[in-house]
Amino acid sequence: MAAARLHARLHTDLSGPVDVFRIVQELGIWLNSRPLGNLFGFYLRQDDALGICLNAGHPETLQRYTCAHELGHHLLGHASNLDDAADIDGAGGGTPAQERAAQVFAGNFLMPLGLVNRVLRRLDLYDRSLAAADVYQISRELDVSYTATVWRLRSLDRLDGPTAAAYAKAGAAAAKRALRGGLPSGSVRADLWVIEQAGDDLIGKCRVGDEILLRLVENRSTGYIWQIEEPAGTSSVAATQVLAWDGRENLTAQSMRAGQLALPSTNDVLRVAADRHIEMEIRRAPEFVSGPDEPETNSDEPNQAWLREVLGTGGVREITVIAENRGDGLLRVELRPPWDADAPAVATVSLVIRVVAPHELDGFAPRQPLAHVARLAA
C-alpha cells in the first residue's frame, strides 16, 4: 500500500522502468554509491538528515533494487539500517519482519502489477507459462535484477514456488545461456538483447558491455549469405532507411539521407564478437528485412513468404556485437553472394544502437550537492 500510495502521489510514469534514483532525490534523500564490500547498501536517518548509500561495485539493476529496498525503510518509518545479500535478495527464510517489509515494498514499487502486465503483453507472455529465459527478458524490460523479478512473479502467482526457487538458484546466467544458446561473448554480468524482428519491443537501456545478438534467416545453398558492412570505421549512415533504437523506446524505422545521421565512428561503439551460420529449421523470418523484388501481401508478416522463397529453411546467421563505448553505433548487414563484391544486395538490415554508461549512479547523484549549496545560500 505504501508503494501504491507513493506512485499515486508522484503520478509515476509506468510506461517504462520506474526511475527510483530520481524519485529518491525528489523526496529530499541524499543518494550516493561507494565501495561497500559485502554490504548491498544502507539507509541512514539522523535527526533531519536522510541518506541512502549503494554498493558501487554492483550492476545498476541490483543498485536500483537495493535503492528501492532502502526507500522502503524510509517510508515505513524504520531506523538506520545496514543491508547485506540476505536482506535484499527476497528469498525469505528467517528474514526479520522489517527486512521482509522492505523487500515487499521494493518489489511492488519497482514492479507494480500494471507495469508487469504491460511487459508480459509486450513480450507476448501474458497467457503462457514462463521459462527462465522469459523471466530474464521480463527483468531486463523492468530494469530490475533477475532474482528480484523471479520472486515478484512468484508473489503474483505467475510462477509456482518450486519453479521460482529453481530459477533463482540457477541464476540469470543460466537463463541467458538458454536464450543465447551458448556461452557469452562478453561479460557474464552484461545484459543480453536478442533481435529477431522489428516487432520486438526493446524497452530499457543498452549499457556499455551489453551483448546484442542479431538473428537473420539464411540458407547458404542459395549462394547468398549475410555479410557485415558495418561496423567498418565509417562515420555516417549511407542507408536510405534504418531502424533506430534510442535505448529506451521501441525500434522505429527512419528514412535518412546519406550522411544525415552522424556517428562517432561505429568501430568505437560496437565490436563484432561472433559471426556464424547455424543450420536449423526457420519458424519465422525477420519482418524488417526487405528487398527490391518483395511482393505485396496483406499478411501480418509481409516479408516472410518472400524470404522463404528466396532463402528456403536452411538456418540462421547469428551476429553478436558487444557495446564497447557510449554513443550511437551502426550495425548493417547485407544479403549478397560472397564471391561477387560488386553484386547488389538482395536485402539490407541497418540497426542503430544507442549505448549508455553502465552506471547511472557513481558517487553522489548529480545535482544533489549543487542543490544543497543553493539551499545553504538561501
Question: Per mean pLDDT, which range of 42-46, 85-89, 96-100 is the poorest?
Answer: 85-89
Question: Per mean pLDDT, which range of 98-107, 295-304, 356-365 is the poorest?
Answer: 295-304
Which CA distances in Å does 233 have to 98, 168, 269, 357? 54, 42, 10, 22
User: Residue 205: inside a domain, yes or no?
Assistant: yes
> Do 318 and 175 sit in the same domain of this protein?
no
> Do 165 and 68 sit in the same domain of this protein?
no
User: Residue 187: inside a domain, yes or no?
Assistant: no
Helix residue spans in 129-184 (DSSP H): 132-142, 146-155, 161-180
User: Residue 62: inside a domain, yes or no?
Assistant: yes
> Do 352 and 214 sit in the same domain of this protein?
yes
> Do 97 and 199 sit in the same domain of this protein?
no
The reported pLDDT for the residue numbered 313 is 54
User: Residue 364: inside a domain, yes or no?
Assistant: no
- Model confidence pLDDT, tens digit, residues 97-146: 888 899 999 999 999 999 999 999 988 899 989 999 999 999 988 999 89
User: Residue 376: inside a domain, yes or no?
Assistant: no
The reported pLDDT for the residue numbered 158 is 94
The reported pLDDT for the residue numbered 287 is 43
User: Residue 21: inside a domain, yes or no?
Assistant: yes
Is residue 300 scored above 50 in pLDDT?
Answer: no
- Region 329-358: mean pLDDT is 83
Residue 124 belongs to domain spanning: 113-180
CATH number of the domain encompassing residue 21: 1.10.10.2910
The reported pLDDT for the residue numbered 197 is 56
User: Residue 370: inside a domain, yes or no?
Assistant: no
pLDDT bucket at 183, cuts 50 / 70 / 90: confident
DSSP-derived 3-state class of residue 161? helix
- In contact, 288 and 331? CB cutoff 8 Å: no
Say how many domains are in the chain.
Answer: 3
pLDDT bucket at 181, cuts 50 / 70 / 90: confident
The reported pLDDT for the residue numbered 49 is 83
pLDDT bucket at 299, cuts 50 / 70 / 90: very low
- Region 290-295: mean pLDDT is 40
The reported pLDDT for the residue numbered 331 is 84
Rounded to whole angstroms, the Cα distance separating 146 from 173 reads 9
> Do 11 and 156 sit in the same domain of this protein?
no
Which of 180, 205, 224 corresponds to the end of one domain?
Answer: 180
User: Residue 361: inside a domain, yes or no?
Assistant: no
> Do 345 and 222 sit in the same domain of this protein?
yes
